């Protein structure tokens, strides 16, 4: 088993031992209705995150393993990323609250293929907690660290699932 895979397995097992919430995310995105949407753009990704110490009405996740496939300006590519996500809720406990959530995220990643290469991603949206399931929609912006590269604006629809914790 390679080192990143071992680290992921170790982090999930450690989280289970500490009763932390571990969240699996799966989502797909398409171009947003900005000035010139590029309909050759599409993405699908999955993330694995672990909850940081809880606060009332707030859940902060470290998405330590994110992988995706995308088609940016009609060119295929794969990406790896890691970032922080926050869930704000009117309920005292954001996850499993059976209520609305405001979701925000910030991530850094690398895209393999022509286009973004190193990038920063920012997203904001909303979701609804249905027990362990949290369906959501968000606006996401990915911008390259290099000038002149395309900026990717997307509407993302997906689901978070609390694996345990």
At residue 108, the pLDDT reads: 96
Give me the residues paired with residue 160 across strands: 25, 134
CB 51 within 8 A of CB 60: yes
Greater confidence, 67 or 96? 67
Give Dmax (Cα) for the chain: 49
The mean predicted confidence, pLDDT, of the chain is 84
- Percentage of the residues of the chain whose pLDDT score is greater than 90: 49
Apex 144 CA angle, 139 and 148, nearest 5:
115
How many C-beta neighbours within 10 Å does residue 160 have? 24
List Cα–Cα distances, 1 to 5, 6, 46, 132, 141, in angstroms. Answer: 6, 6, 20, 30, 34
Helix, strand or coil, per DSSP, at residue 95: coil
Q: With 70 as the cut, is the pLDDT of residue 10 above it?
A: no
Say how many domains are in the chain.
1
Greater confidence, 92 or 86? 86
What is the spatial distance between Cα 128 and Cα 97, in angstroms, rounded to a whole number? 9
At residue 33, the pLDDT reads: 65
How many C-beta neighbours within 10 Å does residue 142 have? 26
At residue 3, the pLDDT reads: 59
CB 141 within 8 A of CB 123: yes
At residue 2, the pLDDT reads: 64
Q: Which domain holds residue 96?
A: 3-164
CB 30 within 8 A of CB 41: yes
Q: Domain with 116 in it: what CATH number?
A: 2.40.160.20
Q: With 70 as the cut, is the pLDDT of residue 75 above it?
A: yes
Number of Cα atoms under 13 Å in the Cβ half of residue 16? 8
Greater confidence, 80 or 35? 80
- pLDDT tens profile 18-32: 567 899 999 999 888
């Amino acid at each position: 088993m390679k080192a990143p895979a071992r680290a992921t397995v170790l982090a999930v097992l450690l989280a289970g031992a500490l009763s932390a919430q571990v969240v699996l995310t799966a989502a797909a995105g398409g171009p947003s209705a900005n000035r010139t949407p590029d309909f050759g753009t599409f993405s699908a990704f999955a993330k694995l995150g672990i909850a940081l110490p809880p606060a009332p009405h707030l859940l902060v996740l470290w998405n330590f393993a994110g992988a995706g496939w995308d088609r940016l300006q009609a060119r295929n590519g794969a990406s790896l990323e890691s970032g922080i996500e926050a869930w704000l809720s009117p309920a005292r406990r954001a996850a499993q609250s059976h209520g609305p959530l405001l979701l925000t995220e910030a991530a850094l990643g690398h895209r393999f293929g022509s286009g973004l290469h190193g990038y920063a991603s920012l997203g904001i949206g909303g979701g609804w907690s249905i027990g362990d399931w949290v369906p959501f929609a968000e606006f996401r912006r990915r911008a390259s660290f290099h000038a002149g590269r395309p900026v990717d604006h997307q509407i993302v629809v997906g689901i978070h699932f609390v694996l345990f914790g």
